[in-house]
Chains A and B, each alone.
Chain A
Amino acid sequence: MVEPLLELRDVSAGYGEAVVLEDISLDIMDGAGLALLGRNGVGKSTLIQTIMGFTHLVKGTVHWRGEDITRLKPYQRARAGIGWIPQERDIFPSLSVEENLGVVARPGLWDRAKVFALFPRLEERRANMGNQLSGGEQQMLAIARTLMTNPSLLLLDEPLEGLAPIVVEELGRAIADMTKQGGMTLVMVEQHAEVALKMTDTAVIIERGRIAHRGRSSELIRDQATLDRFIGLNIGT
């Protein structure tokens, strides 16, 4: 049997005393794409942060390539190969684009030339400070900066939120290219469910901190009843 890249077993987690996620079990296979869907506030971002080690784990275990990483600190998980692009982007505002890319860059497939090929707009803005970029450019920089750490698993938390439709299209293409080029495993939280489902193989819907549905993305995108029930989404397929 093939070992999952990331394995969550009976994970309950939250912030302080508040438990947000309950009994989450999930296998993420190497090279696969997983869409994490659900309404606002159901725990999607908390799940991403739990994988990174930023939440309080009440119970359960997290395994990475078969190794127990439950007790590892966030920076150790990042060094093991888990890359996280947060909803807030969190670029370093007074560092230039070049400098943002240089922070904690690790050797591997993705280098400066390759990320500039993926995001040509960043190359044009390479000398600009982080706070001199548009929202879309900041999101590109956040993705590019994480790519420079050469992760095996990329956790994308609402990468398209608040962006203009033309930028959504541009970024969506870049994310698809990136996963194809890097053979990268992708976990994507996205309000634009149709975009996430087209980019991934499997999908999980979270409802009130628990997994309410799991299945193939290609099937879910056609399952209007499930999408409507859990996400309130009507995809005109």
Chain B
Amino acid sequence: MDPHLWLKRKGRISPYEVVFWPIVLVLPFWLFPTYLSLSSQIAITALFCISLDLILGYAGIISLGHAAFFGIGAYAAGLLSAHGWGEPLSGLAFAAVVAAFAGWIVSFMIVRVQHLALLMITLGLGFLLVELANSLGSFTGGADGLQGIDTWKLLGVWKFSFWGKTAYAYSLAVLFILFLVCRRIVRSPFGLTLEAIRENPDRTTALGAPNRAHLQKIFTLSAGIAGIAGALLAQTTETVSLESLGFQRSAEIAIMLILGGTGRLYGAILGAIIFMVARDQLAGMNPQYWYFWIGLLLMIVVLFMPRGILGGLERLAALGRRR
């Protein structure tokens, strides 16, 4: 069978997926209408987490500074809106282009280093951008955050209200569309080659894959998607702060991905849901020490389900099938 045809068959939508998406669309509207704001934050975070999964889970690029691109996207959309253009969809496109361009520039460094050097470079990038945004206070709002963002009606019809209905539907629609794009990419020959590069870069070179070009492409795409997630946050909350670029956001997104399971896309979504809901509930119970429970959860997952919660569930299902 032609390998492309085989990959196409492998990429068919499963029944689980057909069930999952309508549920996440409908459930928050019906069951948790007062939590729509949290739901839209989860959708945005899941999108950001997917962008990290593309580089970490599929291509093996470890990053502790991915929030840099999230923040660039947030500031790009926020600044555009604060300067008089609040149309959300074009704002998203603008943020995507700016963040992807930044990602493309950084990718030249990223593909030349590995392991600890990669961690340090991505970490340094995050610190650098936070301080840059802080020092350009007249432009970015500095530590006070960017002011004056005004998001126009979505498609000229739906207003972004306090209740967050439009924000959730908008965030979820963007998440769904970009999820499909990412799904198509990771199940293409290009995606398979990325996984092979992650496993053994020398071998993929010997088989004829231009490793650096492939890694640059996926890093640029990932930065663009992270930028879109950042722009969504800026548009739906009408605020952008230095925190959007910071290390904590980068670290949290890595935790979510490891919790959910890397290299699966759905692991990114599951990790974002678990982390954000746990944070909301635990912070409500104990605002000071809620990270204790997150830390405990992370340790348990890494010890007992090294491939994340989704990986653990897959293993259980496989064991069940064998019996």
CB distance from A145 to the nearest CB of B (A): 7
- The listed residue (B199, B204, B206) touching A84 by CB distance below 8 A is B206
Asked if A183 is at the interface of the complex by the 8 Å CB criterion, the answer is no
Query: Within 8 Å CB of A106, what residues of B?
Result: 208
Which of B6, B7, B209 interacts with A104 by CB under 8 Å? B209
**A112-B3 contact given A90-B200, A93-B199, A95-B195, CB 8 Å threshold:** yes
- Residue pair A74, B206 in contact (C-beta under 8 Å): yes
What sequence of 0s and 1s flags, for each residue 191-229 of chain B, a beta carbon within 8 Å of any chain A beta carbon? 011011001101111111111000000000000000000
C-alpha gap A74/B203 in the complex (Å): 10
Q: Does A52 belong to the interface (CB within 8 Å)?
A: yes
In the complex the two chains form, is A149's CB within 8 Å of B195's CB? Answer: no
Question: Is B23 positioned at the interface, with any CB of A under 8 Å from its CB?
Answer: no
- Size class of the contact patch on chain A: 20 to 34
B148 on the A face (CB < 8 A):
no
Distance A86 CA – B206 CA, assembled complex (angstroms): 9
Task: State which residues 139-193 of A face B: CB under 8 Å.
Answer: 145-146, 148-149
Tell whether A75 pairs with B209 under 8 Å between CB atoms, given A101-B3, A103-B193, A103-B204. yes
* Pair A112/B207 contact, Cβ less than 8 Å: no
Does A102 touch B at the CB level, under 8 Å? yes
The verdict on A102 contacting B192 (CB below 8 Å), with A90-B202, A92-B200 known, is yes
Which B residues lie within 8 Å of A145 (CB)? 207
B2 at interface by CB-CB < 8 Å = yes
Chain A residues whose C-beta falls within 8 Å of the C-beta of B116 in the assembled complex: none
A146 and B6 form a contact (CB under 8 A)? no
- The docked-state distance in angstroms from the alpha carbon of A76 to that of B40 is 46
Partner of B206, one of A52, A105, A111: A52
**B92 nearest CB across to chain A (Å):** 33
Indicate if the CB atoms of A95 and B199 lie closer than 8 Å. Answer: yes
Q: A99-B192, A111-B2 are in contact. Are A104 and B208 (CB under 8 A)?
A: yes
Complex contact B200–A74 (CB within 8 A) = no
User: Which residues from chain B contact A52 at a C-beta distance below 8 Å?
Assistant: 206
Chain B residues whose C-beta falls within 8 Å of the C-beta of A40 in the assembled complex: none
- In the complex, whether B189 has a CB less than 8 A from a CB of chain A is yes
Instruction: Give B208 Cβ to nearest chain A Cβ, in Å.
Output: 3
Q: Is A218 an interface residue (CB 8 A)?
A: no
Residues of A within 8 A of B192 (CB): 95, 99, 102-103
Of chain B, the residue at the smallest CB distance from A102 is B3
The docked-state distance in angstroms from the alpha carbon of A149 to that of B2 is 12
> Which B residues form the contact surface with A (CB < 8 A)?
1-3, 6-7, 189, 192-193, 195-196, 199-200, 202-211
Please give the residue numbers on chain A whose beta carbons come within 8 Å of chain B beta carbons, in ascending order: 52, 54, 73-75, 78-79, 83-84, 86, 90, 92-95, 98-107, 111-113, 145-146, 148-149
24 pairs from A and B in contact (CB 8 Å cutoff): A52-B206, A74-B205, A75-B205, A75-B207, A75-B208, A78-B207, A86-B206, A90-B202, A92-B200, A95-B196, A98-B6, A99-B195, A102-B6, A103-B192, A103-B195, A103-B207, A104-B193, A104-B196, A104-B207, A111-B1, A111-B3, A112-B6, A146-B207, A148-B3
**The 8 A-B residue pairs with the shortest CB-CB distance in the complex, in nearest-first order:** A78-B208, A105-B3, A92-B199, A103-B196, A90-B203, A79-B208, A104-B207, A102-B3
Known contacts A95-B192, A104-B209, A112-B3, then 14 further A-B pairs from the complex at CB < 8 Å, ordered by chain A residue: A54-B206, A73-B205, A78-B206, A86-B203, A95-B199, A99-B192, A99-B195, A100-B196, A102-B7, A103-B192, A103-B207, A103-B209, A146-B207, A149-B208
